[in-house]
Amino acid sequence: MSATAVPRRALVTGGSGELGGAICHALAAGGYHVIVHANQSLPRAEAVVAAIRAAGGNAQATAFDVTDAEVAHAALDGLLSGGPIHAVINNAGIHDDGPMAGMSAEQWHRVIDVSLHGFFNVTQPLLLPMARVRFGRIVSVSSVAAQLGNRGQTNYAAAKAALHGASKSLAREMASRGITVNVVAPGVITGRMIGEDFPPERIREIVPAQRAGTPEEVAALVAFLCSEAAGYINGQVIGVNGGMG
């Protein structure tokens, strides 16, 4: 994009969180106008927008429930009225951990609803508009748990692993339209998500790099995959995990 061109627009679901916020900042630094999504907490999304604008970038905030197809479609219709959305980063996801033997149906469905059904509800309405402009970048944020498994996370691993198959299939469907579809699978990343489950000694034990990654390291890959330079990278699942697998 030239300096005078209208910026391409990117929607980041879960953009108000730690990893989502880092992704929003990286995309804005790469020239995108970033739509920062939150589920309910619009003020958190607006805080990310304010920080991006303070750094000289372009951004706006939105809030809607990705698990509600009708609500998501209405929100996307509103966003599309302002022009095409050229990139979508499916970063929204939740944990509700527990061994499967004691897991409730609600725990199972809630996690899958956000990560997997949210992926469909947000991505599907954007495909034809992307195809019309012959450019699209779809990146879904998965997890090393989807690749290796993790005790207490059958629901989370199932939801994220499903994104791998969906993304590989969608990449084949949309590649001729200039649209790429990839998955980024982070490992142990600093922030609230790792909590007390990963003290430093545990991280040194399970991560060959012997440290946790940072949200910025994941965001850098996402931003690259959304760039012009990444146009021939398609249908891939790329780990950001310090060598875990």
Task: Tell me how long the chain is.
Answer: 245
The catalytic position among 32, 64, 119, 156 is 156
> Is 32 designated active site?
no
Three-state secondary structure call for residue 64: coil
Using CA atoms, how far residue 205 sits from 112, 170, 192, 200, 202, in Å, is: 29, 36, 20, 9, 5
Alpha carbons 177 and 130: distance in angstroms, whole number: 8
Strand order of the β-sheet with 9-12 is 58-63, 33-38, 9-12, 87-90, 136-141, 179-186, 237-240
Alpha carbons 73 and 23: distance in angstroms, whole number: 23
DSSP 194: T
Alpha carbons 156 and 173: distance in angstroms, whole number: 26
Give the containing element (helix H, strand E) for 179: strand 179-186
Q: Catalytic positions, please?
A: 156
